[in-house]
Amino acid sequence: MLMLGAAMLPARSSLPSTDTPPTADDTIARRRAFDYYYLQALALKEQESHDDALEMFEHCLSIEPNSPAVLFELSNYYMFLGKKNEALALMQQAVKEEPRNFWYRTILAAAYENSGQRAEAIAVYENMGKEFPTHSEIDLVLAGYYSEEGEYDKAIAALGEYERKEGKSEQISLRKYNICIQMQDSAKAIAEVAKLAAEYPDDLRFKVLLGDIYEKNNNPAQALKIYNEVLSQESDNLPAQLSLVDYYKHYGDNKQFLSSVDTLLMNKKMPSSMRSEILVKVIGEIEKTGGDSLYIINLCERLMAQPVEQLPVLSVYAQYLTHKKTDEKMVTPLLHKILSIEPENRMAQLQLLSYAIGRKDYEEIIARSDTAIQYNPEILQLYYYRGIACYKLKRPQESIESYRRGLKSRDEECDPSMVSELFTLIGDTEHELGNMAATIEAYDSALVYDPGNIVVLNNYAYYLTLDGGDLERAEEMSLKTLKEEPDNPIYIDTYMWVLFMQKRYEEARAYAEKLIQTNEEMSTVEYVHCGDIFAMCGDTERAVEFWLEAQKMGDDSKILKRKIKKKKYIADEKRKKK
């Protein structure tokens, strides 16, 4: 782009020489050249060809070094490029060339601010206030600066000057009040709000605000008097009721606190969102002080009987009862009512599903999951619980389909460990159906999303020993599980069996001894494995002892009977899975 700009510039010889005094013709030619390139620069800027525009403005400056318009444009570009000092110098020169330009002075103040020279920025505005007295917005800017710098008296004076020009207003009076609060000058704050209350007698907010100031400044009697005056004028005045709740809480009057909470929450003027927010805070306060749960329940029940929006109150009430571990028979009707108002309500759907899971009602788990999935297809846990329920109902293929639906519905923000878990369950179920290739594919996918998934690593390693697979890989995976949980008997058994299948019998025996020491309730398969290992290590008597234990536990396989009879290890081509 810069090459284009350069091509548009005239040859140096086409401009008048600066070695001799310019003639009238020279001045006209220079002016025409400036006007042409300045318009070109503005057009490039409008087209957002900023590199070309910048170069063109710089060329214009070489023609007219004191042009305030060009100085202004270049200052903006340099500021954007981070050249703060150069931008400031250009803006200073622009103001010097055209001191009465209000906009240039404003930009100069901003340039000082961006360069960290706040005092200079304030000085610019102070001078502007004197030179442009009709621009009342300068007073507001100065008030902001003074307040930030802690010069509160000056800030109030600037706001007073604004009021002198524009008249008194609620916003300015409130700004003055806030400054008085920052000054910790309660007398001035009270005076400002008292003026507001007097000037706007029909706006009771200011009287309530005045009461709040008295309350914060340890004048509870005056505060309470004002609140009651407001409520005598308007019995359902929300600000006054809110202040009364805070007042009684602050002074520890629990009886009046609860009474004022009742009055406040029953106020029909209160927005629903505010009602639920206050209800949550009140419940928190009561719980924090060891309050009565029956009071909270009674309050929520009475609120639901009022002609107010039900959903916010129902949601808070249901979550409170759930938090208190209340019997689901009391919570379930509330959840159903929530769903009748808002069928997609996630909290209600998931809580009902949780209850079904707790009861192990697998048909209901499936139905609840299906409903929740309609509104929340991205929640992988829904497919997880649905799949588990199908599996428990001996519908393994439907279980696999549930997991796969979940994997298709996942988004970029889903939890990788949950994705890994779904692939794990697919692999486990496929293995039970005898689909070894599908099992391995699912396990490989599970490890992509969670390389440390020790359940997959353990099962994968064991299945490789049954399938005559890669025993070195099986050993590597099994070792990872032992590093995570060195005393887990399931992982010990898998690793000793990998060693056994590699014919490393003495190493396997060491882990068999560890298994016996750490596992008080060994499984049938573990007894068989230990017996096989002892047999291959020459300890026939002990091998038979362990085989007999496996038989007592219910292993009536022909291969086991042959081992016991012949007192030797015999390979089982149909070894039981774990």
pLDDT given for residue 15 in this prediction: 40
pLDDT given for residue 474 in this prediction: 94
Does residue 456 carry a pLDDT above 50? Answer: yes
Q: How far is CA 110 from CA 121, 122, 190, 315, 495, in A?
A: 7, 10, 35, 50, 71
pLDDT-derived band at 2 (thresholds 50, 70, 90) equals: very low
Q: Is residue 213 part of a domain?
A: yes
pLDDT-derived band at 576 (thresholds 50, 70, 90) equals: very low
Find all residues with CB under 8 Å of 265, minimum gap 6, and list them: 275, 278, 279, 282, 299, 303
Q: How far apart, in whole angstroms, are the C-alpha atoms of residue 390 and residue 371?
A: 16
Q: How far is CA 558 from CA 427, 434, 555, 566, in A?
A: 29, 22, 9, 12
Confirm if 245 and 260 have CB atoms less than 8 A apart.
yes
pLDDT given for residue 494 in this prediction: 96
Instruction: Count the neighbouring beta carbons within 10 Å of the beta carbon of residue 526.
Output: 25
Does residue 10 carry a pLDDT above 50? Answer: no
Does residue 11 carry a pLDDT above 60? Answer: no
Q: Is residue 210 part of a domain?
A: yes
Mean pLDDT of 197-203: 81
Q: Is residue 225 part of a domain?
A: yes
Q: Is residue 152 part of a domain?
A: no
Q: Is residue 230 part of a domain?
A: yes
Q: Is residue 226 part of a domain?
A: yes
Mean pLDDT (the chain) is 88
The residue ranges of DSSP E strands in 161-310, in sequence order, are: none
Does residue 194 carry a pLDDT above 70? Answer: yes
Whether pTM exceeds 0.85: no
Q: Is residue 535 part of a domain?
A: no
Task: For the chain, give the percent of residues with pLDDT over 70.
Answer: 94
Does residue 5 carry a pLDDT above 90? Answer: no
Mean pLDDT of 71-85: 89
pLDDT (tens digit, 9 = 90+) per residue, 526-568?
A: 999 999 999 999 999 999 999 999 999 999 999 999 999 999 9
Confirm if 42 and 72 have CB atoms less than 8 A apart.
no
pLDDT given for residue 202 in this prediction: 83
pLDDT given for residue 8 in this prediction: 38
Q: How many domains does the chain have?
A: 1
pLDDT given for residue 16 in this prediction: 40
Find all residues with CB under 8 Å of 133, minimum gap 6, and list them: none
Nearest residue to 429 via CA among 417, 440, 439, 418:
439
pLDDT given for residue 574 in this prediction: 57
pLDDT given for residue 505 in this prediction: 96
pLDDT (tens digit, 9 = 90+) per residue, 134-147?
A: 999 998 999 889 88
Does residue 29 carry a pLDDT above 60? Answer: yes
Indicate the range of 298-312, 339-353, 532-546 predicted with least confidence: 298-312
Mean pLDDT of 445-472: 92
pLDDT given for residue 14 in this prediction: 38
Mean pLDDT of 258-275: 89
Considering Cα of 279, then 324, then 334, then 342, what sign does the dihedral take? positive
| Segments forming the whole domain that contains residue 247 | 204-253
- Scanning 393-539, the segments in alpha helix (DSSP H) are 396-409, 416-432, 436-449, 454-466, 471-484, 489-501, 505-518, 524-536
User: In this structure, what DSSP letter does residue 307 have?
Assistant: S
Q: Is residue 409 part of a domain?
A: no
Mean pLDDT of 155-180: 82
Element (H, E) at 349: helix 346-359
pLDDT-derived band at 486 (thresholds 50, 70, 90) equals: very high
